[in-house]
Amino acid sequence: MNGFPGFVLRRLAGAVVTLFVLSVIIYVVFYVTPGNVAQITCGPRCSPAQVHQVAQQLHLDDPLYVRYWHFLQGVFVGQDYSTGTSVEHCAAPCLGQSYQTGREVTDIIWAKLPVSFSLVLGAMVIWLLLGVGTGVLSAWRRGRLSERVLTAVTLAGVATPVFVIGLVLMIVVCGELQLLPFPQYVNFTDDPEQWAWNLLLPWLSLALIEAAGFARLTRASMLETLAEDHIRTFRAYGVGERAVIVRHALRGATASVIALNAVTVGSAVGGAVLTESLFGLPGIGQELVRAVKVVDLPVVVGMVLVTGFFVVLANAVADVLYAVADRRVVLA
């Protein structure tokens, strides 16, 4: 197929292939690396007979390709697994059962996703407003003192760790000025106002780091666009500088901002570990840290799969939006 529908189908096919390769890599790391998976799954108190039963239930004696097929079946149609004393059914999408709590991994992920989404989506609004706005102003005021100050601020933002910004904000805003309470996550459905107030500092901590990258990208893209011939033509015909900046130069930076934003959102869903840990937010990042500390492998694998899914999905969406912003991409 040609044109935009064909472009979308090609990007979706590429996303499916990428997810398949990702699942193979995760499967190999989880099931082929050294370690008695059956013993870990059953627990330290299981007898050799019970460990053998678990190994049969997990198909550990089967060839690698057969075991991977059972892994995929668990994701798409569910599977039966053993706790050492009984057999239980895990409905699709089955990512296993936590070694520590006995809960299904999918239930843990569904409980943590709203927190991570709340953090990332709120921060996204702020980093787009601050980053793009700063980049536009920096390009508009190029060569002036204000432009140099903004450039220095963005460089400092890129170099500053998120936990430093978060600690400073908590000390100043919550401690010294007492403008906000120390963050404590509240469900949006329980109290939307408290939900927003308690997430304001985490949003700012994450957004200030990401906004620096968006500011630099927007500035560079706009300066490149402002140097093109059609911009000089607009100015020669008497088009106002503000109209040139907003209507034409900013449009040239849109595609790059879309691409960067998709990558940032996708990776931040599972990568905002420091922010969640610093502010005590019970999200994907904090749960992943806990699972790694106690070697809760099913939870680690499930979190990595879900994070990879969102990264791939975000990139696929970015490709489509990129094509909408610049139709020349469809013809490439």
Per-residue pLDDT of the chain (332 residues; tens, 9 = 90+): 567 777 788 888 888 899 889 888 887 877 665 566 677 666 667 777 777 776 776 666 777 788 788 778 878 888 776 655 567 777 878 887 777 777 888 889 898 888 888 998 999 999 898 888 888 888 777 777 777 777 777 777 777 777 788 888 888 888 888 888 788 888 888 888 889 888 998 998 888 888 888 888 888 888 887 777 777 787 787 777 777 777 777 777 777 788 788 878 877 776 677 788 888 888 888 888 888 777 777 788 888 888 888 888 888 888 887 777 666 665 55
Tokens of 4: 């935009």
Helix, strand, coil: what percent of the chain each, to 5? 75, 5, 20
Rounded alpha-carbon distances, angstroms, from residue 187 to 128, 174, 193, 197, 284: 24, 21, 10, 12, 15
End-to-end CA distance of the chain: 14
Residue 81 belongs to what H/E stretch?
Answer: strand 79-82
Contacts of 179 (CB under 8 A, 6+ apart): 173
Count CB atoms within 10 A of the CB of residue 219: 25
Q: How far apart (Å, rounded) are the C-alpha atoms in residues 278 and 169? A: 12
Rounded alpha-carbon distances, angstroms, from residue 249 to 111, 215, 221, 325: 43, 14, 8, 13
